[in-house]
């Protein structure tokens, strides 16, 4: 049975202004500048730069309510009172600037790399090769199948099928392998390889056949698995060579490029520039935080809207079109006022949040020693500045700070913590730094295993498990002990 009843409940909903503020906070400097330009284009009531304040008669105190009474619809005088947006004060509120940002004049244009693509580079070489007409289409197809690192990842039978279906070329595997061999003679050496083993051998083929080069070729052909796993003792026994001979052969292999196409693929990409949102300096032993000046633009309400409303007041007969114009002006003024206020709140939020982080990690920022980083989570900063965790997260995840120790993502200063044997809270960053130093100083002939690293850390007062050491080592992008072995 259906019943109709009333239900009251409390709920929280973000206003459009709050949503706008949250979106602005999470934008880094360059994205914020793009958003600012877009808003200036979309809203004619918003203008950049400082406002030229003139002594003008206040013409917006009259009540225009009667002018908007039509079909039970009216707009109150307060709705179009431009005093909310413009002021005859010498220094209006929205023009007040804080001194917590720097006046940098960095070039705001993002440069683009004008370089020949990897595909174009290979195709230009192919045009200079003597290749019969029936093989030309196969060679061009193979070049198009080479990825950005220089490899052909697909099996030969699949390439044969693709030639039939996409290029209407019916051939066999032997013919494709023959043409592929011609493609593999192009520069850079090793291009067109189907595996790492083949890539390295193609590069060695172009070297002067010294004893070390010949031994390196023999190792890659007959003992590639043992080589990849660094089983040096097995290589010495199998190839009946001395340790010095093996060392010279390995040195020749180490000079090869495992990704021959990477140099060309990187050159064709857009150069990515990081614009720091904050700048930190140490002045007389004190930390000085500056907000990038590009995050603090000067904006004001267009004075031309003042003249529009003045003209409307002087008009004796108010038409429907004029009333719609005033309604449009009100919407644009509201949007401009909200945007200016959101930018001011964005500046305050960024400065307040970063200031709390610097105060929390003062010992690190004064010394640059990562071992002095304290365990810090989002909630710690949110509690200090009395803001929501999501707000702190928006600042930390997308903002960079320029410090005397390099430009880093704000998020990198957050880390979990653990207690050492003395019961003190230490950051996981401190432990990672110790692991990195231990691996850097280890004997490469007998690298430290994760078990040994855990034992050394325990002796230093950090009781952590082997699996935790392995997790930290992987986060540092360091290989296991077997792959760190050298002779």
Task: Write out pLDDT tens, residues 294-311.
Answer: 777 777 777 776 667 666
Per-residue pLDDT for 267 more than 80?
no
Residues 292 and 177 in one domain: no
pLDDT-derived band at 25, boundaries 50, 70, 90 = confident
CA distances from 430 to 41, 169, 262, 418, 476 (A): 48, 60, 34, 10, 12
What is the average pLDDT across 263-278? 65
Of 365, 387, 414, the residue that ends a domain is: 414
From CA 173, how far away is CA 200, in angstroms rounded?
23
Q: By residue range, what is the domain housing residue 426? A: 420-484
In this predicted structure, what is the pLDDT of residue 159? 87
Same domain, 402 and 425: no
What is the number of structural domains in the chain? Answer: 3
For residues 128 and 451, which has the higher predicted lDDT (pLDDT)?
451
pLDDT, tens digit, 9 for 90 and up, residues 7-17 = 777 766 666 66
Identify the residue with better confidence: 419 or 83: 419
Q: Is residue 377 located within the same domain as residue 354?
A: yes
pLDDT value, residue 309: 65
Sheet arrangement for strand 400-403: 101-102, 286-292, 278-283, 400-403, 406-409
pLDDT at 356: 92
Residue 355 lies inside a defined structural domain of this protein? yes
For residue 172, is it within any domain?
yes
Is 60 inside any structural domain?
Answer: yes
Please check the confidence at residue 120 and state whether its pLDDT lies above 50: yes
Of 17-26, 117-126, 381-390, 473-482, highest mean pLDDT: 381-390
CA angle 141, 144, 145 (to 5 degrees): 90
Q: For residue 217, tell me if it sits in a domain.
A: no
pLDDT score of 272 more than 60: no
Among residues 241, 265, 289, the one where a domain terminates is: 265
Share of the chain above pLDDT 70, in %: 78
Above 60 in pLDDT, residue 87? no
pLDDT of residue 301: 74
Is residue 46 included in any domain, yes or no? Answer: yes
Q: What is the pLDDT of residue 354?
A: 92
Q: Residue 226: pLDDT above 80?
A: yes
């Amino acid at each position: 049975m259906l019943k109709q009843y009333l239900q009251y409940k409390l709920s929280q909903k973000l206003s459009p202004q709050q949503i706008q503020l949250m979106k602005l906070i999470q934008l880094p400097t360059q994205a914020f500048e793009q958003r600012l330009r877009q808003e200036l284009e979309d809203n004619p009531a918003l203008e950049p730069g400082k406002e030229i304040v003139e002594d003008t008669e206040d013409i917006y105190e009259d009540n225009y309510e009667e002018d908007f009474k039509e079909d039970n619809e009216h707009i109150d005088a307060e709705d179009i009172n431009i005093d909310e947006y413009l002021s005859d004060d010498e220094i209006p509120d929205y023009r007040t600037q804080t001194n917590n940002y720097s006046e940098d004049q960095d070039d705001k244009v993002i440069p683009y790399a004008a370089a020949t693509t990897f595909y174009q580079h290979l195709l230009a070489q192919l045009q200079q090769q003597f290749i019969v007409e029936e093989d030309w289409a196969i060679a061009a197809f193979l070049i198009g199948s080479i990825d950005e690192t220089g490899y052909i990842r697909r099996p030969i039978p699949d390439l044969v099928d693709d030639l039939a279906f996409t290029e209407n070329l019916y051939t066999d595997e032997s013919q494709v392998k023959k043409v592929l061999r011609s493609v593999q003679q192009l520069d850079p050496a090793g291009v067109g390889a189907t595996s790492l083993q083949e890539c390295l051998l193609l590069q060695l083929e172009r070297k002067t056949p010294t004893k070390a080069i010949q031994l390196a070729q023999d190792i890659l052909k007959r003992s590639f698995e043992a080589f990849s796993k660094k089983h040096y003792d097995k290589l010495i026994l199998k190839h009946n060579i001395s340790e010095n001979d093996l060392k010279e052969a390995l040195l020749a292999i180490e000079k090869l490029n495992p990704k021959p196409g990477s140099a060309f693929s990187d050159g064709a990409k857009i150069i990515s520039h990081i614009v720091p949102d904050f700048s930190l300096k140490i002045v007389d032993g004190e930390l000085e935080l500056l907000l990038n000046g590009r995050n603090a633009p000067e904006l004001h309400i267009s004075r031309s809207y003042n003249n529009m409303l003045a003209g409307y007041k002087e008009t004796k007969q108010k038409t429907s079109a004029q009333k719609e114009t005033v309604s449009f002006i009100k919407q644009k003024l509201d949007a401009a006022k909200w945007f200016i206020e959101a930018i001011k709140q964005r500046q305050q939020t960024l400065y307040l949040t970063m200031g709390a982080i610097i105060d929390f990690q003062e010992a690190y920022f004064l010394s640059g020693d990562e071992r002095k980083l304290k365990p810090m989570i989002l909630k710690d900063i949110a509690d200090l500045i009395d803001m929501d965790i999501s707000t702190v997260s928006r600042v930390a995840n997308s903002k960079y700070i320029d410090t005397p120790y390099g430009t880093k993502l704000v998020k990198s200063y957050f880390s979990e913590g653990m207690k050492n044997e003395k019961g003190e809270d230490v950051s996981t960053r401190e432990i990672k730094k110790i692991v990195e130093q231990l691996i850097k100083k280890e004997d490469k002939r007998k690298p430290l295993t994760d078990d040994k690293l855990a034992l050394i850390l325990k002796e230093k007062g950090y009781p952590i498990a082997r699996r935790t050491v392995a997790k930290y080592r992987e986060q540092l992008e360091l290989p296991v002990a077997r792959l760190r072995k050298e002779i």
